[in-house]
Chain A
């Protein structure tokens, strides 16, 4: 089968790659672009570890074909911090010790950031249901929820960085 030539933007940089038609964005990120911060937890769209944004929309990269990203803009965990300066979402997860093994963490950073960009002041149940697509087997979630609550309503602070 012939390969597809894709030109896209990843974390605001122009990127080109060749992929098979059935190759997922997750596999291309990890195997071709060496962006291994995006994780595979299930490969079936059920765990959120592979979360990225596509033109600003939260998607599972395991369910997105790499070829679909042609001409679009992909956001991954590697593009969230600004050099040495962490994004407020990253900072809050650290402050609240809201992680253990860390496999789910990049997906959470992306999903929380997407939530707050859409709704800067989510209620606790909005947070819980938005994040219900991101599995974490270690933390029991409470610290993650508290970290997001701690950011909610701080739209100014948040927008500065976004």
Chain B
């Protein structure tokens, strides 16, 4: 299958470059790297209080425990005790104060992982308990904020709401989510000559790990090298989090002069690392008889946890996405970034966007229930227009709106109208089993909202035999980025992708990279690699034109050969000739996203290069006696521009969708009233299973919709947007129970939450 481009390797359903290794179990993840003989294994000692002063930390027994070689506390950190990505407020090890249950207080290196993990349990720590704030709601009431409150006002929401025909207001709680990458956090630090440190880290952000480790060790960035060939999933959870574990391994390695591996077991990983922000959302909306929104106000309170981490940008993205696909001319948004005594919440696929989109979809659904109309008709009423009604609350003009087209196509192919009727009939005749259906749209802005992050570098070498070494700043977490970037280079040289060696991300090859995040991996790194390839190609063309005395326009790369006028030769022969003629066969490439700008003080500008779109229709069957549901069918139509690789893109769509479904239906983070996370293993924390996928699942990529912007081969980013297609399942459940329960359904819609909603309705 190919998408509509002229190129040979673009739009090809090429499998993941490591697929064959994965099915054989021979792909090497960080924990699979052969261990040096003198390696030590580390473990961390965790706080048992959510908020307390450390009165006395007695680690004598830990030191005496069998196999223990070294123990470190905050005092043993030679440099900066901080791994905060933005502010310096994230201690690698707590010094005198702990601010969440599970915070690292000390670390141990021992001769085996078991010895290290056992040893940490023998610490005796005296805490002086302090009052703890655990929820966003409680923090908002106490005005406990980690960052200043942000406001965005566009139009005049107050008078638009007041003068509207109808008003509604309400409140809904939206749960967080653990990334649950299958490979937990891990780092292996090896001391090198002259105080340098080399680290294998499972990270989406090698450059940040490098800089933080250097600061912690009090050495320079040039002395720290971070390498990551692949991660076993990241989903945002390996953006800012890995630097803490890399730093701990490095400090222990520096101290013991031996390699140190720190691999968190699942329970520790879930306790210690940040998650998707849970939210309390309050809204007031004014609308007309047909459901057209005239004015709206949102108050978002996000549980950020004990430090800032990436919460600023995440909550900004909530503000940027609480319009989803709807034109909201009169809007007022207040975003409270709540400081709580819980783990510092962090990036997770969608990065705050999903929470904003949930909020507006919730309001739309409530309007529909109020007016007794099909929610889809309210959605359509409020969609952004093509020629007008196309300015976002942050004043960016939308130029690539395809939501009308996607929703119309999907409505037809999914037989929405007919099924809606069938469902109404079914529900009228079924007392306890109720069906529901929902079609929800996605519009997601692509670019980092922090301008400087929108840059990337790549490195391409061609060897004398014509084989190609490719390196770039992006990281591989399963999404297939390395395959896509290799396709780009293969395309430029018109050679087979297997001629290209994909290599581990390495801070000594491409420096100062951004995290592989914000769905930007192939947009940025694909362009950087293309530029590197084009530089070498231009040299080759000049060389050939000169040597064969022909115009440069007559040198053409095609099918692994180079055509020079009427003769042709294999690619590798030209390479060899170029080498003999002393032509440089190596180049770096660099890319920065054009056209984007944003003024934080007014909250206006063009923060996004373009938008990715999609929509999903889901149908569920809810048992109103148990609160359980079955996902009967889901239809998806998603925009990938000119897909670089449909197989990989469909994988992102399906995987993202199911992750969204998990977030909104089964994954529940429960904290005790002491602030201890109680759901820290898959036995209690329910990610979707094989048996939870739609019984009938139809996924399609929108055809004939090249990106309007000049992205790599006019493709579009696909990492995050599909997650929000999962909203359709939540709203289908809400639809199913709407005939018997009109009270607010809280997310996630676990059986418990569904039953509570029904019960409240019966009581009221």
Q: State the A residues within 8 Å of B (CB).
A: 30, 34, 36-44, 46-47, 49, 76-78, 80-81, 86, 90, 93-94, 97, 99-106, 109, 125, 127-129, 131-132, 134-145
Chain B hits for A139, CB < 8 A: 651, 654-655
Q: What number of A-B contacts does a CB cutoff of 8 Å give?
A: 167
- The answer to whether B563 has its CB under 8 Å from any CB of chain A is no
A144 with B690: in contact, given A78-B25, A138-B233 (CB under 8 Å)? yes
Chain B hits for A136, CB < 8 A: 182, 690
A100 with B23: in contact, given A135-B687, A145-B693 (CB under 8 Å)? no
* CB-based contact A77/B25 at 8 Å: yes
- The answer to whether B20 has its CB under 8 Å from any CB of chain A is yes
- The answer to whether B414 has its CB under 8 Å from any CB of chain A is no
- The answer to whether B621 has its CB under 8 Å from any CB of chain A is no
A97 with B266: in contact, given A42-B682, A103-B233, A104-B182 (CB under 8 Å)? no
Q: How far is the CA of A49 from the CA of B32 in the complex (A)?
A: 14
Can you offer 21 A-B residue contacts whose CB atoms are under 8 A? Answer: A37-B24, A37-B26, A39-B182, A43-B266, A86-B23, A93-B19, A93-B23, A97-B15, A101-B181, A101-B232, A102-B22, A103-B29, A103-B182, A105-B23, A128-B691, A129-B690, A135-B682, A137-B687, A140-B651, A140-B658, A141-B688
* CB-based contact B682/A102 at 8 Å: no
B residues 273-302 touching A (CB-CB < 8 Å): none
B residues 582-614 touching A (CB-CB < 8 Å): none
Q: How far is the CA of A140 from the CA of B662 in the complex (A)?
A: 10
The distance from the CB of B585 to the nearest CB of chain A, in whole angstroms, is 32
Partner of B19, one of A42, A99, A141: A99
Partner of A41, one of B26, B182, B693: B182
Chain A hits for B28, CB < 8 A: 36
Q: How far is the CA of A98 from the CA of B593 in the complex (A)?
A: 32
A140 with B655: in contact, given A46-B681, A77-B24, A135-B182 (CB under 8 Å)? yes
Given contacts A102-B232, A104-B182, 14 further A-B contacts (CB under 8 A): A30-B31, A30-B32, A38-B25, A39-B232, A41-B682, A44-B683, A86-B24, A93-B19, A99-B22, A101-B231, A127-B690, A128-B690, A140-B657, A140-B659
Partner-contacting stretch, out of B352-360, B416-424, B473-481: B473-481
A101 with B233: in contact, given A106-B25, A135-B182 (CB under 8 Å)? yes
The distance from the CB of B325 to the nearest CB of chain A, in whole angstroms, is 23
A100 with B478: in contact, given A44-B681, A49-B182 (CB under 8 Å)? yes
The distance from the CB of A42 to the nearest CB of chain B, in whole angstroms, is 5
The distance from the CB of B672 to the nearest CB of chain A, in whole angstroms, is 20
B residues 687-716 touching A (CB-CB < 8 Å): 687-691, 693, 697, 699
- The answer to whether B8 has its CB under 8 Å from any CB of chain A is no
* CB-based contact B683/A46 at 8 Å: yes
- The answer to whether B34 has its CB under 8 Å from any CB of chain A is yes
Nearest A residue to B26, CB-CB: A37
The distance from the CB of B398 to the nearest CB of chain A, in whole angstroms, is 29
The distance from the CB of A75 to the nearest CB of chain B, in whole angstroms, is 12
Chain A hits for B266, CB < 8 A: 41-44
Nearest B residue to A81, CB-CB: B24
